[in-house]
Amino acid sequence: MRDGRRRALRWVALLVLAGLAPGCGQRSVTLYEKVTGSPSYGRVLEATTRTRDVTDGLETLFILSATWLSTAWVNAFAEEYSNIYYLDPKRREATITLWRGESQETVRFFVALYVPDERGNDLEKPGTLWSLRLVRSDERDFAPVYVRKASMRPEEISRFFPYSGTWYRAYEVAFPKEAGEASAPAVAGEPRFKLVLSGVQGRAVLSWE
């Protein structure tokens, strides 16, 4: 009799666990999504990022990747950043204001550069041999307002700009606001502006419509 009651209780416990499992699984998935972020940031990042490999035969001379920190990117980043760090509305608004403010005053890019000899990876230095320009649709070019090392921590760079690997150096670059203003009505297929990096190793051109 006692064995029968034990078996019955065991079956009840199994049924209860089976009933709870889907709910627990759903909660786990929801928490996981909040920590890792949603796919929307990845889609916006892909749409605003360009990459160019400059080679000599099989030899890689350098690799340039850049993300245009457009309004669409700032909005997606702010949402992603808030989800990852569980920011309350006040702190979230502060984050948005910080990033959006600079992006409204200048044309900003996150730039990742790989050079086999890291001594030549010095875009932020006054004596660099690299020339970095933003060329508008009317072919007028602009020098950067600033080039500086990325302000994010390495772990954040890996999370928000995963194309910037271990051997890359990450920079934040800003150009005058007028560099991003259309000089003429937009033409389908024509780039809005081009980011051009030139040096003794060669030239890389990234364009955005």
Give the pLDDT confidence of 141-172 residue by residue, as tens digits.
999 999 999 988 999 999 999 999 889 999 99
Kindly report the CATH number assigned to the domain that includes residue 119.
Answer: 2.60.40
Give the pLDDT confidence of 169-207 residue by residue, as tens digits.
999 999 999 998 866 555 656 788 999 999 999 999 999
Compute CA 207 distance to the chain's CA centroid, rounded to the nearest angstrom. Answer: 17
Q: Which residue has the tokens 């990845």?
A: 42
- Residues 57, 139: one domain? yes
Domain that includes residue 1, residue range:
1-36
Q: What is the pLDDT of residue 96?
A: 73
Q: What is the pLDDT of residue 64?
A: 98
- Residues 64, 155: one domain? yes
Q: Does any domain span residue 86?
A: no
Please state the domain count of the chain.
2
Q: What is the pLDDT of residue 93?
A: 77
- Residues 122, 201: one domain? yes
Give the pLDDT confidence of 75-111 residue by residue, as tens digits.
898 888 888 887 777 777 777 777 777 777 899 999 9
Between these two residues, 135 and 37, which has the higher pLDDT value? 135
Question: Is the CB of residue 192 less than 8 Å from the CB of residue 137?
Answer: yes
Q: Order of strands, edge to edge, in the sheet holding 193-199?
A: 141-142, 131-136, 193-199, 202-208
- Residues 32, 61: one domain? no
